[in-house]
Amino acid sequence: MKNESEEYLDRVQELIGRLRREALPDIDEAANRVCTTLRCGGRVYFFGCTHAGILTQEAYYRTGGLAVFNPIFAPGLTVDSTPITITSELERTGGYGPIIARQAGLREGDLLFIHSVSGRNHVPVELALAARELGVSVIGITSLQYSKESASRHPSGKRLFEVCDLVIDDLCPFGDALLSLPHSGVGVAPGSTVLGAAIVNAIAARVAAAYDKEGLLPPVYSSANVDRGGEYNRKVYETYRDQICYEMV
C-alpha cells in the first residue's frame, strides 16, 4: 500500500504527464511569444502574489534560467511580508494592480507572465487589464478548473484566464491540494508550485534553444558555484543588459 509521500509524487508525475499532453501547445506558443518580444527589443516580466510569486523567484537570476526574465515584486505581496496575513488582504484590494503596472515600468511591446492558481482576486486581474492597456502582452498561468469553480472578486466579474492574451492551464485541482486525507477530508500537498515551475522552465528551455539554433549566445545563467561561473554570467548580463531590469554588481 502506498504512503502519502508516494501518492503525492504519483500525482505530480501524473499531472506533469498531462502538461506534456495537454498544455504543450500553449507552452510552445508562450516560448514563441517570448522570442518575438525579445527580438523586437521588449522585456519579459513575471509576477505573482504570495506563493504564486514563487514562480517569479524561480524564473529570476536562476542557474539554467533566462537572464532576460525580470521579476516584479510588489510590497506586501511576497511571502516575507509580516504579518503574512496582510498578503491575502492586499491581493484582494482594488487599485493596487495599476500601481504595480506603473511602478514596474511596463511599456508597449513588453510581455508579462502572471501566475495565479485561482485567478479570482483583484490584483492579478487588475494588473493584467492595466498591462494590456499599456500595450503589454499578458500570459496567464492558472488552473482553469479551480478558476471556473470560483467567483471573481474583481468588480468586472472577470477571472485571470478571461483577461489574458494567452492562458496556460497548470491543471491543478480546485483548492490546489493534490491529496485528500481519508478521515478528515483535509486537502494537503499543493501542486501549483511544482507544476508552475515545470511550465516556466519548459518555456525557458525552448527560448534558449532558439537562440542557440541561431548561433547566438543563449541568455542563460550558469551556476555561480562552478569555476568561472561568475565570469560567464557577467558576459551574459552585459550582452543582454538592455532587456534586464535588475542590477548585477
- Domain-embedded: residue 201: yes
What pLDDT is stored for residue 249 in this prediction? 74
- Domain-embedded: residue 243: no
- Domain-embedded: residue 63: yes
- Domain-embedded: residue 242: no
The string of DSSP codes covering the chain is ---HHHHHHHHHHHHHHHIIIIIHHHHHHHHHHHHHHHHTT--EEEEESGGGGHHHHHHSS-BTSBTTEEE---TT-STT-SSTHHHHHHHT-TTHHHHHHHHTT--TT-EEEEE-SS--SHHHHHHHHHHHHTT-EEEEEE-HHHHHTS---STT---GGGS-SEEEE--PPTTSEEEE-TTT--EEEE-HHHHHHHHHHHHHHHHHHHHHHTTPPP-BBPPTTSTTHHHHHHHHHHHSGGG--S---
CATH code: domain of residue 104: 3.40.50.10490
- Domain-embedded: residue 244: no
- Domain-embedded: residue 120: yes
Domain that holds residue 39: 4-236
What pLDDT is stored for residue 165 in this prediction? 98
Split at pLDDT 50, 70, 90, the class of 209 is: very high
- Domain-embedded: residue 246: no
Asked whether the predicted pLDDT for residue 52 surpasses 90, the reply is yes
Asked whether the predicted pLDDT for residue 248 surpasses 90, the reply is no
Asked whether the predicted pLDDT for residue 192 surpasses 90, the reply is yes
- Domain-embedded: residue 13: yes
How many domains does the structure of the chain reveal? 1
**Which of 102, 140, 134 has its CA nearest to residue 121?**
140
